[in-house]
Amino acid sequence: MTTIGWVRHGITDWNVVRRAQGQTDVALNDTGRAQARALAERFKHEVWDWVYTSDLSRAKETAETIAQALNIPIYVDESLRERAFGKVEGTTEDDRIRMWGEDWQEIELGIESDESMIRRGTDFVQDICSQYPGKRVLVVSHGAFISTLLPILVPNMHEREHLHNTSVTLVRQVEETWVCDLYNCRRHLEAVNL
């Protein structure tokens, strides 16, 4: 029974102002680094075998903080990147409305499809299950990527609550299906008032 702990990266300055990041490489801010340290402290009381991460620095730095604290291997995988948001990257909602109008979501702006993200996500999960059967693997990735993939993995999962920075969602494989044991948990942040 493989367990995957899905982790959204720590917060960035672009998250704070709600600027679309996509695959633009935006670093963690000081709060994001503190969030990552708090998460690493939480994981010290749990057993994890490996950490996988997106290659984007906000996820990679979060994962490195965890891997170092737990003294476990870290692997970088580009397939864990955030959705590519095309021309939308770097813009706020106000920017998008000003440039493309209220119906900007109906315009072709080079945004990666759900199908593309799901394909790379399910391929990754299949690889993890075949390589690490029965192991516990942390995966540090991005909000849109994780929230698009989870309902595909977990039957009848209708959670749509916004995934918070450094939140933890635990899923475990039971035969050929996945069960969600914990969703969007951020209790580690309460201890440090973040």
Percent of the chain scoring above 90 in pLDDT: 91
pLDDT digits (tens, 9 = 90+) for 89-126: 999 999 999 999 999 999 999 999 999 999 999 999 99
142 is catalytic: no
pTM of the model as a whole:
0.95
Residue 50, C-beta contacts closer than 8 angstroms, at least 6 positions apart: 72, 73, 74, 75, 132, 135, 137, 138
Q: Is 82 a catalytic residue?
A: yes
Reply yes or no on whether the pLDDT at 160 is more than 90: no
Choosing from 41, 46, 61, 82, the catalytic residue is 82
What the block records as the tokens of 40 is 């690493």
Which domain covers residue 70, as residue numbers? 3-190
Q: What is the pLDDT of residues 17-57, one digit of tens each?
A: 999 999 999 999 999 999 999 999 999 999 999 999 999 99
pLDDT in tens, 125-149: 999 999 999 999 999 999 999 999 9
Domain count, the chain: 1
Binding site for substrate, residues?
Answer: 8-15, 58
Strand residue runs (E) in the chain: 3-8, 50-53, 74-76, 136-141, 168-174, 177-185
What are residue 127's DSSP bridge partners? none
Amino acid 1: pLDDT: 85
CA atoms within 13 A on the CB side of 176: 0
> Which of 84, 76, 77 lies closest to 114 in space, CA to CA?
84
CATH number at residue 68: 3.40.50.1240
Q: Which residues contact 167 (CB under 8 A, 6 or more apart)?
A: 7, 8, 184, 185, 186
Could you list the residues known to form a binding site, using ranges: 8-15, 58
Active-site residue (options: 9, 89, 142, 188)? 9
- The model's confidence at residue 193, banded by pLDDT at 50, 70 and 90, is low
